[in-house]
Structures are given as structure tokens and as C-alpha cells.
Amino acid sequence: SSEEFDFFTLSSAWPKTVCLEGQTEKLYCNNTLDVAGWTIHGLWPSRIDGKEPKSCGHIKFNLKTLDPLMGDLLKLWPNLFKYSSLDSLWRHEWNKHGTCAVSDNNTATEFLFFKKALDVFKKINISRVMKNLNIVPSDTKLYSVRTISRGLKKHFSGIEPIIMCLDIKNKTYLHQIQVCYDKEFNMVDC
């Protein structure tokens, strides 16, 4: 069926690059947000053939359901853009990806889907890992994708994440780090 998937992809995003990307589409970031370090972009049911399931059901997004997670969501999975509702990113991620994850017991409800994403994101702690690898945001120091990839792979005991960069105005920025998990949430190669 269109809802079947093989593994999960947890996508972490570097907020400053997300904001630079947004500016190219006339979306501007809310600079008053309390965001320190990497944030969650999403938890995505994924397939080996690359044909990701999307928008699988009509289970309505209910912000109230997420009340117990609100502190973590605001800090770790914020909507960075001005002039859009606080919950617009969560609503989008639920409608597009969460509805496809309900077939898995770990992510069978809206609450469980967001909680699982937060839990695995906190566990891998990309911000701390990058700091430990001495890979820190800089406008002057450059890092090769190979350096980042090797460091992460070593840290993740040989598991290889996906590193995504973004080219804006002849500069390349680190954008996302994607880590993959099997359905029991053991880390696997993407």
C-alpha cells in the first residue's frame, strides 16, 4: 500500500541555514526565538526505493494533544518563520509524514509520533556531537563534507548519516543531517 515504509529518517536542521533558505523565498525568520543549536526538521517514514509515503490519512492534527510536549517542541522543533502560526511546521509534518507513520506502534498516534521524534533527537544530540567534533558554526572556517561525514560516522559507531548542504549566493552552508532508524528505532545506514 502507499502507506508502507521500511525505515524512519530523522532530519535535523541548522536554523541559520533554514533562515537563509527561507529568505530566498521571501520568508523571514523570527530572531526572537530561543533556539540554540540544531533543531528537528522532521521524522519521515522512508522507503528503500526512495518513494516516500506522503499525506497518508485524514487524522486531523490536534495541537492540544501535544500540550505535554510543548516545552520541548518550542525549543527543539520550532517554526522559525515570522508571520506563520506557531504550529504550522508541526501541522505540516503531521499531515505529510506523521499520518504515514501510524502503522508503526512507536508512532501510532500524533502524540507518540512527536514524542518519538523528540526522544531520538535528544538521544543523538547533534549539537553536542558537532561541538565534540570541533565542528562549530563559522563564517570564516570551512569544513569539508568528508570531515563532517567521517566524524559523525565514527561517533555513530560506523552508521552513516546523510549530510545535506545548501548553496546560496556562491556559498555552501551545512543545512541538514539525516539519521536513519529501523522500525524498532535502532540506528541504521540511510
Q: What is the pLDDT of residues 3-14, one digit of tens each?
A: 899 999 999 999
Task: Give residue 92's Cα distance to chain centre.
Answer: 13
Task: Check pLDDT > 70 for residue 1.
Answer: no
Is residue 116 very low, low, confident or very high in pLDDT (cuts 50, 70, 90)?
very high
Q: Which pLDDT value is given to residue 3?
A: 80
**Predicted local distance difference test score (pLDDT) of residue 187:** 97
Give residue-wise pLDDT tens across range 58-101.
899 999 999 999 999 999 999 999 988 989 999 999 999 999 99
The answer to whether 11 touches 40, Cβ cutoff 8 Å, is yes
Among candidate residues 8, 164, 129, 13, the one with its CA nearest the CA of residue 76 = 13
d(CA 56, CA 175): 27
Amino acid letter, residue 2: S
Question: For residue 69, which amino acid is it?
Answer: L
Task: Give catalytic residues, as residue numbers.
Answer: 41, 93, 97
Residue 106: per-residue pLDDT: 97
User: Please, what is the average pLDDT of the chain?
Assistant: 94
Question: Within a 10 A sphere around the Cβ of 136, how many other Cβ atoms?
Answer: 9
| Residue 165's pLDDT band (cuts 50, 70, 90) | very high
Which grid cell is 175? Answer: 543545512
Report whether 89 contacts 18 (CB < 8 A).
no
The CATH number of the domain covering residues in 7-188: 3.90.730.10
Q: What is the pLDDT of residues 15-51, one digit of tens each?
A: 999 999 999 888 889 877 778 899 999 999 999 999 9
Q: Which residues pair with 8 in a beta bridge?
A: 45, 181
Boundaries of every domain in the chain: 7-188
- Residue length, the chain? 190
Percent of residues, the chain, with pLDDT higher than 70: 99
Query: In percent, how much of the chain has pLDDT > 90?
Result: 85
Q: Are strands 187-188 and 39-46 parallel, antiparallel or unpaired?
A: unpaired
Q: If we measure between CA atoms, which residue out of 13, 18, 65 comes closest to residue 37?
A: 13
As a whole number of angstroms, the distance between CA 7 and CA 50 comes to: 11
158 is written with which cell numbers? 560506523
pLDDT at 176: 98
This prediction's pTM: 0.94
> Does residue 2 surpass a pLDDT of 90?
no
